[in-house]
Amino acid sequence: MDLLEYQGKMLFARHGVPVPSGRPARSVEEAVAAAQEIGYPCAVKAQVQIGGRGKLGGIKIANDAQEAREHASAILGMDIRGLTVYELWIEGASQIASEYYASVVFDRGAKAPLVMLSTKGGMDIEAVAAEDPDAIAMLHVDPLLGFQPFHGRRLAYEAGVDADVVRPVGEMLAKLYAVFTSEEATLVEVNPLIITPEREVKALDAKVTLDNNSLFRHPENAQLRDLSAEDPQERMAHERGLTYVKLDGNIGVLGNGAGLVMSTLDVVKGAGGEPANFLDAGGGSKADAIVSAVEVILSDQKVKAVLFNIFGGITRCDEVARGLIEAFALIKPTVPFVVRLDGTNDVEGREILAQANLPGVYTEATMDAAAAKVVELAK
């Protein structure tokens, strides 16, 4: 779950990470009131879950109430890389002597947290990594040992930070690591991490991604979920207990089990098709789960054909067939379906579908044949 900047700063403050004072605002009047309370100059910042806001006009400095009103009016409703700005963060302007970059991310390859520090803050870190990889100091942290003071000093020295802030920067990294572990995040990023003229270290930005699977342990974080920023199909699937990922093609893909669905995506691609989504109904799928899955798949207007690939183990193919019949009765799909049933009660399932004679439903015995058929129908 990606957080907005100010939500990330709320988590930072919880762990003693210094951040500039600010107020959220959802309207121009709220923004002006917040600016008056904080004082001028202040920053008017678009709150969207994407980077590069400043370059696209999503961050402006206001020196008085008139500028605060003008900037808030311009930024609210702005489209930033496909995301609409519904909320602002009004923050006291900061004096900056230096800009650094700091992050903690979970490195799945190393199976350990990776802490990164660079003196080239305020830039796209991807560009820094491509142009000057030596400018980024990196350190994997043993989860059992945790982040130690010498880790912070080592990263600061290797990154080449100013000598007088080596220890404060190291202490900041320790606090960011505490946010990462305590809040069960997969990413904590600050760009820029600033050094003020008074040599204080502050987080001027906050990019935080939390592990969805841990939210039941953090009810206060679960409340930060921004439903308006989520894909409507993914939100619908989540509410129904289904695993769904939206893709760019026009063929809906449903299976029972992540491995089977991923294999199905590959087979569809191999047959020349483009999957529109990935929907895993899970093992033991019952008829009601199939109805929900069909509703989610067909809610995407790009879907021109649907491939059902079911391997019956715990899941019974006759249950899947009944669920499909029920879905057709309720939803009345207008796009063709290709169904491949194999495993537990597959013969019974195919017989049920044959007797129902659903319009636009085709059955195939193999994955390859099913993929070829659905690609043909999608065209």
Active site residues per annotation: 101, 189
Can you give the length of the chain in residues?
379
Task: Cis check for the bond before 336: say yes or no (omega within 30 of 0).
Answer: no
Taking alpha carbons only, the member of 207, 252, 229, 5 closest to residue 116 is 207
Instruction: Evaluate whether 46 touches 53 at the Cβ level (below 8 Å).
Output: yes
C-alpha dihedral sign at 300, 86, 183, 172: positive
